[in-house]
Structure 1
């Protein structure tokens, strides 16, 4: 540990003694979390290029899934259309009688 780190700890110890260690640790953890959140938001923690590449991959994979879903659902839609047509034709015959 360097001298700066030790002097920092020496300044924090009276606060821990006065207010309690738990409160001090919560305060330090809150500072760390806020700093990490800010770093993510500004792009220091995760480079913007990586985020853009991940979003492009997500869009590409979503298009592939949509295409597969359309191919999978097409036969089922055909069956529903035929059932609707048959049902409509049956109802027209019943009303005409």
Structure 2
């Protein structure tokens, strides 16, 4: 048999499917003409646990592209983040 470890394809498939389900959804924030850069940056840091650099980069993308995926995760994980962002007057959706 050699030194090759035994692998079970169905177990590997289950693991891959679990990983896909974890990243199945995206939390997207949309641009508006109301909220300041500082407010959006602060929100992404506090709600999504972004670093200041991540939050600033996402904010620039939101500004120039009109939207940005700010977080990937399960639907249940993203719902409270979306609610927290929306509670601060920023438009966000889960896809």
TM value normalised by structure 2 = 0.29
Q: Which has the larger radius of gyration?
A: 1
Structure with the higher strand share, 1 or 2: 2
Structure with the higher helix share, 1 or 2: 1
* Greater RCO, 1 or 2 (C-alpha within 8 Å, sep 6+): 2
TM value normalised by structure 1 = 0.28
